């Protein structure tokens, strides 16, 4: 161990008394999932600010001299560290000026004020953490306040390391592998330092997301480097440049790095909820995302992951649902060519897609002779390859459009001039195999032609679709409407879209 690592170990050792005087240990909970390994979750989402960041902020600020306390502190944060500093300010009676990026949601600003009260001043500056941090550092130099760094500070890391001490004291170990998320690297360095002293055989895996991998980039370059851009989906780890001290520590203590995607994180959030009924923020799910990705490589081992926080923006849950997996399979989007004629879609679905789990339809009529339907399917890589081969074997023309902007943003084009005597339906059907297919087969296939189809699986028991159906003449349209019930087997509601909405859609 290097002298820097020894200093960090000493900082953690000394931090324990200070940190444990404020809050009790957060629990260690096994994930109730069918996995080839045992996965234990360190529940930092149950801490005083629903995240681990308070540990480091409080430990650093508790070491301030009386003269330093009188001057106050400055920091920069987009969320959890700001709340940690605010809590410490309240407990220690220290004024804190906190720089936050301008786009910081009001819910996070309110949380900072709730923890800090009159002792906290929020300054909105810049459009990113890096810009806010630069402004805060400049301000600290001007007025002599202590800058409380979110991660690149031994005393801050010392406080973060107490969560690893609690893991050891839980008696659940020893652990074979620890999957530690990395932003700036403070928590990963501190937890690795303590765990390696207590469990000499443990393997430390640093977890980063695509677009945020500043630490592995630093290790590859031999020094901290600035990323050209940083993805902010996992906002708690959105750091462009690793710290000088955290880089040196992680280079020594982290055995390997794993990169996960945002979709991997979405799946992890879902699995954590399904297994243990816990909602975590996206950064908090990164360790579990890596565990699910590694799978059998961790077979038979005792594995540790840190649920680093639960301060998720509620609006983000919709994105997580849409980009998570369905029944353990990822979403993929195929655009298939179908003749623009009645029954063509059902024929392709039956012959080409078979029992595939279709979770989305995107289609609008733009041509009189051919249709290009976009279908979203939940499939493993092997299932997807088999589907593509089956479509090719049926001479169905297709293309993989997963990730295309018009698909991601659900841009469903159609030409109203091509629609013949259309009817638009709002359909609520039960999310079970065959329900939507049976509706189309019974009521649509023999009477009309689908000219518009908008449906996306949301995870609810009821699926909702907007269907456009066109008819050769007004008599067929009238007969269709006369035979259409407002509810039936497989669907619980069906209504004709009328008025301004129907007119906008071509009705």
pLDDT of residue 321: 84
Q: Tell me, what's the pLDDT at 504?
A: 56
Tell me the per-residue pLDDT of 454-482, one tens digit each, with 9 for 90 and over: 999 887 889 999 999 999 999 999 999 99
Is 55-149 a domain of CATH 3.40.605.10? no
| Distance from chain centroid for Cα 268 | 8
The model's pTM is: 0.85
pLDDT at residue 502 tops 70: no
Per annotation, catalytic residue among 42, 53, 240, 365: 53
Examine domains 3-51+156-323 and 55-149 and report if their fold is the same. yes
**pLDDT at residue 107 is higher than 90:** no
**pLDDT score of 233:** 92
In angstroms, the CA 281 to CA 437 distance is 37
Residues 335-372: tens digit of each pLDDT: 999 998 888 899 898 888 988 889 999 999 999 999 99
Of 313, 309, 269, 284, the closest CA to residue 110 belongs to 313
Neighbour-count burial for 443-461, b at 16+ CB within 10 Å, e otherwise: bbbebbbbbbbbbbbeeee
The predicted structure's pLDDT at residue 507? 43
Whole-angstrom Cα distance, residue 507 to residue 499?
A: 9
Return the minimum-mean-pLDDT range out of 32-36, 62-66, 102-106, 465-469: 102-106
In the predicted structure, residue 303 carries a pLDDT above the cut 50: yes
- Among the listed residues 29, 33, 31, the one whose alpha carbon sits nearest the alpha carbon of residue 46: 29
Q: Mean of the pLDDT values across residues 233-247?
A: 93
pLDDT (0 to 100) of residue 499: 55
pLDDT of residue 97: 97
223 in active site: no
Query: What is the assigned CATH class of domain 3-51+156-323?
Result: alpha beta
Closest CA to 18 of 196, 190, 155: 155
Q: Tell me the average pLDDT across 88-94.
A: 97
Local confidence band at 324 (pLDDT 50, 70, 90 cut-offs): confident
DSSP for residue 295:
G
Strand partners, 428: 464, 493
* pLDDT for 170 beyond 70: yes
367 or 505, higher pLDDT:
367
The answer on pLDDT for 184 being more than 80 is yes
- The predicted pLDDT at position 434 comes to 84
Domain boundaries, given as residue ranges, for the chain: 3-51+156-323, 55-149, 330-504
pLDDT value, residue 355: 83
pLDDT at 49 over 60: yes
CATH 3.40.1020.10 fits 330-504, yes or no: yes
pLDDT, position 331: 87
Segment 35-63 mean pLDDT: 97
Residue 432 has pLDDT above 90, yes or no: no
Closest CA to 238 of 156, 180, 182: 182
Q: pLDDT tens-digit profile of 366-396?
A: 999 999 999 999 888 899 999 999 999 988 9
Among 492, 443, 446, which Cα is nearest to 467's?
443
| Residue 9 predicted with pLDDT over 60 | yes
Q: Work out the average pLDDT over 121-140.
A: 91
Catalytic residue among 308, 324, 330, 356: 308
Whether 53 is catalytic: yes
What does the pLDDT average to over 191-209?
97
Residue 503: band (very low, low, confident or very high) from pLDDT cuts 50, 70, 90: low
Does 434 or 487 have the greater pLDDT score? 487
In whole angstroms, what is the distance from residue 16 CA to residue 190 CA? 13
Residue 506 has pLDDT above 60, yes or no: no
């Amino acid at each position: 161990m290097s002298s820097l690592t020894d200093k960090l170990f000493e900082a953690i050792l000394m931090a324990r008394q200070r940190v444990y005087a404020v809050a009790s240990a957060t629990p260690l909970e096994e994930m109730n999932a069918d996995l080839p390994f045992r996965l234990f979750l360190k529940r930092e989402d149950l801490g005083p600010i629903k995240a681990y960041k308070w540990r480091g902020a409080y430990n650093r600020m508790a070491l301030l001299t009386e003269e330093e306390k009188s001057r106050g502190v400055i920091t920069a944060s987009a969320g959890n560290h700001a709340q940690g500093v605010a809590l410490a300010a309240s407990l220690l009676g220290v004024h804190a000026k906190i720089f936050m990026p301008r786009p910081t949601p009001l819910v996070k600003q309110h949380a900072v004020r709730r923890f800090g009260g009159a002792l906290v001043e929020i300054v909105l500056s810049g459009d990113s953490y890096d810009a806010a941090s630069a402004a805060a550092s400049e301000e600290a130099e001007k007025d002599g306040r202590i800058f409380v760094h979110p991660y690149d500070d031994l005393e801050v890391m010392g406080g973060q390391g107490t969560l690893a001490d609690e893991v050891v004291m839980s008696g659940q170990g020893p652990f074979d592998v620890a999957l530690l998320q990395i932003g700036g690297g403070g928590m990963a360095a501190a937890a690795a330092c303590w765990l390696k002293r207590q469990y000499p055989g443990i393997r430390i895996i640093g977890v980063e997301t695509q677009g945020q991998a500043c630490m592995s980039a630093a290790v590859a370059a031999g020094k901290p480097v600035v990323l050209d851009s940083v993805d902010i989906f996992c906002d708690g780890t959105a750091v462009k440049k690793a710290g000088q001290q955290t880089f040196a520590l992680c280079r020594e203590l982290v055995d390997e790095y794993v990169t996960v995607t945002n979709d991997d994180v979405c799946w992890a959030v879902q699995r954590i909820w399904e297994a243990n009924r816990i909602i975590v923020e996206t950064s908090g799910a990164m360790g579990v995302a890596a565990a699910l990705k590694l799978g059998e490589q961790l077979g038979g081992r005792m594995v540790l992951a840190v649920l680093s926080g639960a301060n998720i923006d509620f609006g983000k849950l919709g994105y997580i649902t849409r980009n998570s997996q369905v029944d353990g399979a990822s979403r993929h989007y195929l655009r298939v060519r179908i003749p623009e004629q009645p029954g063509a879609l059902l024929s392709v679905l039956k012959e080409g897609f078979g029992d595939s789990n279709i979770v989305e339809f995107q289609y609008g009529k733009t041509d009189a002779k051919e249709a290009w339907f976009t279908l979203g399917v939940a499939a493993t890589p092997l299932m997807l390859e088999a589907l593509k081969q089956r479509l090719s074997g049926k001479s169905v023309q297709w293309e993989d459009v997963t990730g295309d902007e018009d698909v991601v943003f659900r841009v469903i084009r159609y030409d109203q001039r091509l629609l013949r005597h259309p009817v638009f339906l709002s359909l609520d059907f039960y999310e079970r195999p065959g329900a939507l297919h049976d509706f189309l087969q019974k009521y649509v296939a023999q009477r009309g032609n689908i000219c518009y189809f908008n449906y996306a699986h949301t995870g609810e028991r009821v699926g909702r679709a907007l269907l456009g159906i066109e008819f050769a003449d007004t008599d067929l349209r009238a007969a269709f409407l006369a035979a259409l019930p407002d509810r039936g087997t497989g669907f619980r509601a069906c209504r004709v879209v009328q008025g301004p909405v129907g007119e906008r859609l071509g009705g």
